[in-house]
């Protein structure tokens, strides 16, 4: 589980695997149900790591696409951290705090999911564990990293509460560290033919100041640096020289070039879903594309 040495927090999610084609009826829970779900989350986690009881637990009782939880700077968890710092009751013992919709059912902006990323079968609810004792936080983080992926299924009453409260058909409800979620996403991308892109996303998450290339034909050429992804936009002749020097017929070249352009757009859409800005850099025929992306 990702831990911050300065804020003494650890990050995780409740992952809800939905029945195919059945999105939840509600985007976020009202205060009473949000608090009840947070309480059951705390109980379940404490059964796996008893020292959880010594930490504040902060839950966003709103569901998101996994890509929204896997963005540089961890913005969903950062919002929780900021709200936790303003919550009353500090220094009065461990607290269980939940945020969601208001009494009227309106969802505040910090917890409004990206509408363009709806429809997936996995939705996640971010949570934080926070404490002043670095040793306790470290031990809880290490314990949850060890056990959640294998034994982190939510208790039956917790899953039932989530199903009823969100108006969802839930196949499985489980707890994951953000590292677990990243590993699962990497595996899904690999199975979906996007495995070559994951190192770029992982760099943006774990080492955002670093540089990472995707330079593996027939994939588009891409450079991640300074928090942005730059994709080479080849003219047809430059694309042919790099990707299809053996193709002979115009029809085959046109079809292959069309597939390549579609692949560029797919990769750009995945990166943007993860909150990584994308720009296209024009690469004329005789230019060195790698040098163009560095400039």
Structural domains for the chain: 3-191 (no CATH), 195-294 (3.30.750)
* Alpha carbon distance 168, 158 (integer Å): 13
Q: What is the DSSP letter of 193?
A: T
Tens digit of pLDDT per residue, the chain (295 long)?
444 444 478 999 999 999 977 889 999 999 999 999 999 999 999 999 999 999 999 999 999 999 999 999 999 999 999 999 988 878 788 999 999 998 878 898 888 999 999 888 999 999 999 998 999 999 999 999 999 999 999 999 999 999 999 999 999 999 999 999 999 999 999 999 999 999 999 999 999 999 999 999 999 999 999 999 999 999 888 888 888 877 668 788 888 899 999 999 999 999 999 999 999 999 877 668 898 898 7
Helix residue ranges per DSSP H, 222-273: 236-243, 250-273
* Alpha carbon distance 270, 192 (integer Å): 12
Q: Could you give the dihedral angle defined by the CA atoms of residues 23, 28, 32 and 38, in that order, rounded to the nearest 10 degrees?
A: 90
| H or E element that contains 230 | strand 228-234
pTM for the model = 0.93
How many CB atoms within 10 Å of residue 279?
Answer: 11
Is residue 68 within 8 Å of 125, Cβ to Cβ? Answer: no
First to last CA, the chain: 36
């Amino acid at each position: 589980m990702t831990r911050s040495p300065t804020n003494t927090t650890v990050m995780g999610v409740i992952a809800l695997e939905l029945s195919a084609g059945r999105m939840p009826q509600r985007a976020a829970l009202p205060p009473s149900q949000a608090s009840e779900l947070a309480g059951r989350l705390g109980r379940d986690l404490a059964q796996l790591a008893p020292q959880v009881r010594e930490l504040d637990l902060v839950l966003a009782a709103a569901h998101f696409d996994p890509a929204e939880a896997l963005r540089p700077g961890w913005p969903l968890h950062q919002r929780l951290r900021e709200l936790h710092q303003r919550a009353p009751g500090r220094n009065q013992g461990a607290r269980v705090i939940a945020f969601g919709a208001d009494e009227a059912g309106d969802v505040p902006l910090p917890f409004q999911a990206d509408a363009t990323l709806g429809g997936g079968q996995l939705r996640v609810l971010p949570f934080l564990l926070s404490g002043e004792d670095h040793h306790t936080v470290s031990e809880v983080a290490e314990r949850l990293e060890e056990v959640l992926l294998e034994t982190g299924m939510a208790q039956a009453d917790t899953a039932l509460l989530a199903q009823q409260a969100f108006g969802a058909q839930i196949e499985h409800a489980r707890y994951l560290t953000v590292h677990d979620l990243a590993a699962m996403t990497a595996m899904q991308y690999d199975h979906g033919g996007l495995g070559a892109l994951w190192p770029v996303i992982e760099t943006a998450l774990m080492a955002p100041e670093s540089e990472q290339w995707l330079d593996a034909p027939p994939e588009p050429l891409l450079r991640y640096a300074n928090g942005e992804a730059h994709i080479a936009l080849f003219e047809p002749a430059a694309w042919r020289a790099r990707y299809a020097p053996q193709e002979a017929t115009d029809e085959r070249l046109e079809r292959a070039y069309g597939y390549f352009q579609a692949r560029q757009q797919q990769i750009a859409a995945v990166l943007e879903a993860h909150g990584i800005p994308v720009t296209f850099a024009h690469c004329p025929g005789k230019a060195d594309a790698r040098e163009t992306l560095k400039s």
